[in-house]
Structure formats: C-alpha cells, structure tokens
Amino acid sequence: MATSGSPTLKILAVCTVVLAAPAFASTSGPLRAFDEAVAAGLPQRVALPAGDAEARDASSGELVVTSLVEGLDTAFSDGTRGTHYMATWQGKPAVVVRSAGHLDITVADATGVSITGYSGDTERPHRLRRDGSAESAAATARAVASVADEPPTTSGLSPNPHEGLSTVGFHMFVHDDVEDRSDQHIHAGYVAWWAVDMRRILAVRRVQTVYRRRMPGLTDIPRHDGDLLGRWTLSMQRLVMREGLMPIPGHSWFKFMLLTPDAIEPGHYGRAWLGGDHAVASLNGPYTVIAHEYGHTLGGVHEDASVEWSGFWPCETNLYSHSNALRRNCYRYTPENQRRMREYMAGALPDEGERRLEMVY
C-alpha cells in the first residue's frame, strides 16, 4: 500500500473523488472579467482584449459563455483543476477552460484548432494555431500493427464490466522529455474539445481527464523503439496492481495514455490496444491524435471512419486511418464509431471472457 505522500495514491484520490468546482484567487484583467460574468449567471457576454489581427469587426474579442459543462472534471499535474464552459468566440462555437491563472478558449473547426489564452494579470492574449490538415500523408498514416508476442487481454472481471458505470477517467502521463508544453496548453489543443464531445457521447455521469508528470518508471520510460506501447502497458499494469488503481465494475473505469514529444516510430504518431485500456500518442501529431488513440480503446475502428464535408472542404473524422495533407480534420467521430463506443461502454463486446487485444495505430 502506498504511503500518504506517494504520487500514486494521489492518482487514486483523483479517480475516486468527485472533483469540486475550483475556487480561484483574486485576479484582475481578462480573468477577473470572465469570473465576474460567470458569477452573475449564464449566459453572459464578456468583452476580452483581442490582438490587432482579430480587430476586424465589432464582435472581435466578444466571448458569449452559454453554459457550464457539467460532469466533466480536469485535474492538472500541479494540483490545479479546470472547469469547462460552452461558448462562442467571435461567432464560432468554442470550449472555454478556466483553471488557476489560465483562461483558454479553443475553437476546433475544419480550418484547424485555434487557441486564445489569457494568463495571470496580462491584458493581451497569447495564441496558438495549427492548420487542420496533416503534415503529410506518410507522416500520419495509420494501419493495423503487428500484434505483440504477449498482448494484454480483456479483464474478465465480469461478463459486462462496463455496465452501470458512472465515471470514466482518461489519465495522461506526460513524458519527461516534453518540456515545452504545459498541461493547460496540451489540454486546450488536444483534449478540451474532445472531452466535451465524450461527455455527450458516453452514457456516463462523469468524465475525468487527469494529467501526471515526473513519475519514475512511467514518464521516463525509454521511447525510441517499436515496442513502446507494450512496455508502457506493462509498466502501467504493475502500478495498477501495486497501488490498487483497479476499475470498479459498475462504478468507474480508467484509460491510460503516455504522451511523447515526437513520433513514436517513423511515420506513426500513436498506438493503442483496440478495446483495451492503454495507448501512446505523440504531441507532434495532429490535434486529433489523442481522440484517435483513445477512440480505439473505446472500440472505435478505422473502417467506420470517413471523409466528410465541412463547408466547402473535405475533412477526416477522428478515426480515419490514412491522413492526407489536402484534407482537414473534422474534430468529430462518425455516428457509427459513436455507436461502437456506446456499445463498448454498455458491454456489447464481440465475445465474452478473456480475449487477446489487437494493437492498432
């Protein structure tokens, strides 16, 4: 059993305790304006300072906060928490994440992911934008990987271990080599828009996203070989068994992902066990890479992904297998893959009992 000061026990506490809405210290500037508007009741309009490039019309810098996203909890590795809101930013649908010292506004559409962030007492925003297309067709090609000699199996805890779940926790372990990105910025780009969608898709009362750093044996694992997912899975399974971080049938289930700074192997930005609980994703991949790999752990497959249209340009849904530089990302799953995920959570698996899992990109 872990001591009270161990990092692994802190993980368990996050998994089993409902995260309360954070209370922020006194702030000024944009963060204070946002907090005061939300405290007055939603919906609310908030005028936020915008950069010169955004000052195109009278609505620039206007944030309309429409609702709190209930049942979605985020815990960052520094112990702070994030609260999510649905909003529109400059007329586009957006997700807002308020955390200690941060206010991040994420717009994900077919043109890419655009993040407008405010920190501390600064008046002007900082921005990060990545085009919605993949870097190249070869760089993000995904296919079925060869199966490891000893792949994990389904848990066999019960014929339907997911039945009646109230909480699903997505735990992301940031590799020690990721030094230039904060949890908050990772969340704003790769996770916030996806987590809100998972709250809608999955038939559970609560979705948790949890970030962990500097955990020896987990976040410092050597990452330059073809069996990274297999070794990561074994390391995580040892922690789960040693510290009691086990799923609780009928109550909670956990998924675990290692986040790395670059491609896990040439031409590939992620791997996962199809229908399993472990995955690896590179932060050098497209903003859909976490959604792609976690989608596989929930039973989503390439075959049910598609190329769709967003406006006047084709886009690829989250689980599309072979990205093309001429197409954008849709930032959504197809109805077929959404159905697969709900069926997975309902326990509608192809067979019962133990079965070997397939490794996929």
User: 3-19 pLDDT, tens per residue?
Assistant: 333 333 333 434 443 44
Please name the residue ranges forming H helices in the chain: 7-16, 29-39, 183-186, 192-201, 228-243, 289-297, 335-345
pLDDT for 24 equals 56
Query: What is the per-residue pLDDT across 321-333, written as a single tens digit (0 to 9) for each?
Result: 877 777 889 999 9
Residue 277 predicted with pLDDT over 90: yes
Q: What is the mean pLDDT of residues 157-174?
A: 72
pLDDT for 121 equals 66
If one compares 40 and 133, the residue with the highest pLDDT of the two is: 40
Residue 337 backbone dihedrals phi, psi, to 5 degrees: -75, -35
pLDDT for 269 equals 93
Report the length, in residues, of the chain: 361
Across the chain, what does the average pLDDT equal? Answer: 81
Q: How confident is the model at residue 311 (pLDDT cuts 50, 70, 90)?
A: confident
pLDDT for 60 equals 53
- Closest to 276 measured CA to CA, from 234, 332, 320: 234
Q: Mapping DSSP to helix (H, G, I), strand (E, B) and coil, where does residue 5 land?
A: coil
Domain ranges of the chain: 14-131, 167-360
Residue 356 predicted with pLDDT over 80: no
- Residue 25 burial (CB < 10 Å; 0-12/13-18/19+)? exposed
Query: What is the per-residue pLDDT across 170-187, written as a single tens digit (0 to 9) for each?
Result: 999 999 999 999 999 999
Q: Mapping DSSP to helix (H, G, I), strand (E, B) and coil, where does residue 343 land?
A: helix
* Local structure of residue 113 (DSSP, 8 states): E
Query: What is the per-residue pLDDT across 18-69, written as a single tens digit (0 to 9) for each?
Result: 444 445 555 668 999 999 999 999 999 999 987 655 443 434 589 999 999 9
* Local structure of residue 241 (DSSP, 8 states): H
Tokens at residue 157, please? Answer: 């805890």
Q: pTM value?
A: 0.83
Beta strands in the chain (DSSP E): 44-47, 62-68, 72-75, 81-89, 92-99, 102-109, 112-119, 126-131, 167-174, 206-213, 252-260, 270-273, 278-282, 307-310, 313-316, 328-329, 359-360
Tokens at residue 189, please? Answer: 């780009």
Q: In what side-by-side order are the strands of the sheet with 313-316?
A: 307-310, 313-316, 328-329
Residues 48, 123: Cα–Cα separation, whole Å: 9
Residue 219 predicted with pLDDT over 70: yes
Residues 197, 338: Cα–Cα separation, whole Å: 10
Q: How confident is the model at residue 151 (pLDDT cuts 50, 70, 90)?
A: very low
pLDDT for 310 equals 75
Query: What is the per-residue pLDDT across 241-266, written as a single tens digit (0 to 9) for each?
Result: 887 767 666 667 899 999 999 998 88
Q: Mapping DSSP to helix (H, G, I), strand (E, B) and coil, where does residue 89 land?
A: strand
Map 72-83 to HEC letters.
EEEECCCCCEEE
Residue 352 predicted with pLDDT over 60: no
Residues 44, 64: Cα–Cα separation, whole Å: 6
pLDDT for 20 equals 42
Tokens at residue 27, please? Answer: 């702030």
pLDDT for 241 equals 83
Residue 93 predicted with pLDDT over 90: yes
Q: CATH classification of 167-360, choosing from 3.30.70.20, 3.30.300.280, 3.40.390.10, 3.40.1280.10?
A: 3.40.390.10
Residue 71 predicted with pLDDT over 90: yes
